[in-house]
Amino acid sequence: MPAHVAVIMDGNGRWARARGLPRVAGHRAGAEAVRRTIRAAISHGVRWLTLYAFSAENWRRSPAEVLDLTGLLRHYLKNEIAALAAEGVRLSVIGEPGRFAADIQADLAAAERLTAGNERLNLTIALSYGARAEIVAAARAAAAAAAAGRLDPQQLDEERFGRFLATAAMPDPDLIVRTSGEQRLSNFLLWQAAYSELVFLDVLWPDFAETDFSAALAEYRRRERRFGARPG
């Protein structure tokens, strides 16, 4: 069983178009798939689930779509957090939450505080997240630590560098799932994905069901993970 599953939720727009619906209908249906996926992760005993909900590049979508996506996030935070907390979910955010409206930032911070003691599922939502920006921020923090005499540059190794990343407290993802048939990482967890198994599913995100989650786990179990070592 993978300890950490990360998901690139893709295909909301295509799902809506195929039905002659506005894109926002796809995002709304996508939010339902988020609920199903959290339940599936809990029932399979997955301890870490990371969802790519909003990329740093998503700000370039039309103002109307950005408003729809941020509105959905606001709605989700106001209506779901109590239930998540009751189910033992610990919520964390990576990315740039500071780019969202003040009330969303406040709700995110409150949700992180409220759920900080939970241990059943560590749910991380990537919001305005970009892996290159995360790595640059980590490099800047490491350089600042070195300049302040708190870090010897000669001592900087992969493990220490990882502590400057937003994901310092999490294990690397064992499995990264992307829906909608696209086969790329799109600036998601580039450092952390070094040895992740990648599973690409043809299902559009709003159709993602518990059976798709199980299928991705089954595919993961068929893979032989070697971390660069020779087969034994």
- Asked if 12 touches ligand FPP (CB under 6 A), the answer is yes
Burial (CB count within 10 angstroms: exposed 0-12, middle 13-18, buried 19+), residue 164? buried
3-state secondary structure of 195: coil
Residue that is written with structure tokens 């103002």 in the block: 63
Please identify, using beta-carbon distances, which residue of 52 and 220 lies nearer to ligand FPP.
Answer: 52
- Asked if 27 touches ligand FPP (CB under 6 A), the answer is yes
Residues 6 or more apart whose CB falls under 8 angstroms from that of 169 comprise 92
Q: What are phi and psi of 165, to 5 degrees?
A: -80, 160
Answer for which of 3, 14, 71, 162 binds ligand FPP (CB under 6 A) is 14
Please identify, using beta-carbon distances, which residue of 40 and 142 lies nearer to ligand FPP.
Answer: 40
- Piece of the chain touching ligand FPP by CB under 6 A; list 29-37, 88-96, 183-191, 212-220: 29-37
Ranges within 157-196 binding ligand FPP (CB under 6 A) = none
- Piece of the chain touching ligand FPP by CB under 6 A; list 12-20, 40-48, 169-177, 214-222: 12-20
Q: How far is the CB of 125 from ligand FPP (least distance, A)?
A: 6
Query: Burial letters for 16-52: b for 16+ Cβ neighbours within 10 Å, e otherwise?
Result: beeeeeebbbbbbbbbebbeebbebbbeeebbbbbbb
Ranges within 77-116 binding ligand FPP (CB under 6 A) = none
CA dist., res. 193 & res. 135, Å (int): 13
**Catalytic positions, please?**
10, 58
- Asked if 72 touches ligand FPP (CB under 6 A), the answer is yes
Angle at 216 between CA 212 and CA 218, to 5 degrees: 110
In the complex, which residues of this chain contact ligand FPP (CB under 6 A)?
A: 9-14, 27, 30-31, 34, 53, 58, 72-73, 76, 125, 205
